Amino acid sequence: MEKFTRHDGIAAPLLRASIDTDAIIPSREMKLVSRQGLGAGLFAGWRYLAQDSRDPNPEFVLNKPEYQGASILLCGPNFGCGSSREHAVWALKEFGIRAIIAPGFGSIFANNCVRNGLLPLVLEADTIARIADWVALSPRDNRVLIDLPARHVQAGGQQYSFQIEEGASRMLVEGLDAIALTLTRWDYIEAFHEQRRQSRPWLY
């Protein structure tokens, strides 16, 4: 999994509340048997002018020239609520999103983010609005810097601290998915099995 330590990127505002996983990737876009290709379906109901076309909606923020290449989303509360579809995170990742800053997240969505190398970062709503206003002055120049090990965001000459659970931070910083995280404890796992072999040899 790609490591996340420091990231500097264009931040696109999508400040509406309770954007659910069906809005992130509608079910009609989940026709593939792999993760590849899902980026085209990201926010398909908003990015395109019609359901059966790929004509871009010029009013949607990610289609605007000044936000092309955005890798950070500035969002409203309860982002990623709704169903538990992991496709939503896969689509965001393939599109190029590395971090989402919101006042809160759907819990399953946030866990899926961490397990796929995407940072769900919590800041207060007024702080996010202030960052979005600064970015809007010149989106390509006013980039947002996230330092995960230091637990802060830099934007507009200000530094904003954030909290993240230690296990989630480790997975992101070291690039560990759930299996890789388990394997870091392999010596303990082997020791446990050896102890069981000694105490209950009939099981083996």
Inter-residue contact 13 to 74 (CB < 8 Å): yes
149: which 2 tokens?
């090990």
The pLDDT, as a whole number, for residue 178 is 75
Angle made by CA atoms 24, 25, 28, in degrees to the nearest 5? 150
> What are the domain boundaries of the chain?
6-203
- Kindly report the CATH number that applies to the domain delimited by 6-203: 3.20.19.10
The tens place of each residue's pLDDT in the chain, 204 residues long, gives: 899 999 999 999 999 999 999 999 999 998 877 788 899 999 999 999 998 889 999 999 999 999 999 999 999 999 999 999 999 999 999 999 999 999 999 999 999 999 999 999 999 999 999 999 999 999 999 999 999 999 999 999 999 999 999 999 999 999 988 777 677 777 877 778 778 888 888 878
What's the pTM value of the predicted model, to 2 decimals? 0.89
Q: How far apart are alpha carbons 69 and 75 in whole angstroms?
A: 17
